[in-house]
Amino acid sequence: MSTKTRKSNGQGHTYKVGNSWKTVITSKGRTVTATAKTQQESKRRAKEKVHQLPVSNNGKVVGANKVTLGEYLLP
């Protein structure tokens, strides 16, 4: 039986899933995940996604509020 070891990367955590690595970062109320074949690539992809999050004028992430399924499907 394999165990999941999570290594902190300063902003979230990275762990092995099968033959890949998964990084999970929570930033500004949003959770970003990325998977890749290597641990370094997974971290890099997750950090890129964090930097691409849209930001409003007051510094909070746009769309960070909870959205119902109906609001999501019918804009």
Residue 31 has pLDDT above 50, yes or no: yes
pTM (global) more than 0.85: no
Q: What does the domain layout of the chain look like in residue ranges?
A: 7-73
Is the pLDDT reported for residue 5 higher than 70?
no
* Contacting residues for 42 by C-beta, under 8 A, at least 6 apart: 14, 20, 21, 22, 23, 34, 35, 36
Residue in 15, 11, 10 with CA at minimum distance from that of residue 32: 11
Q: What percent of the chain has pLDDT over 90?
A: 33
Select the more confidently predicted residue: 28 or 13: 13
| CA atoms of 17 and 29, how far apart (whole Å) | 25
* Residue 13 structure tokens: 């955590």
Rounded Cα gap, residues 29 and 15, in angstroms: 21
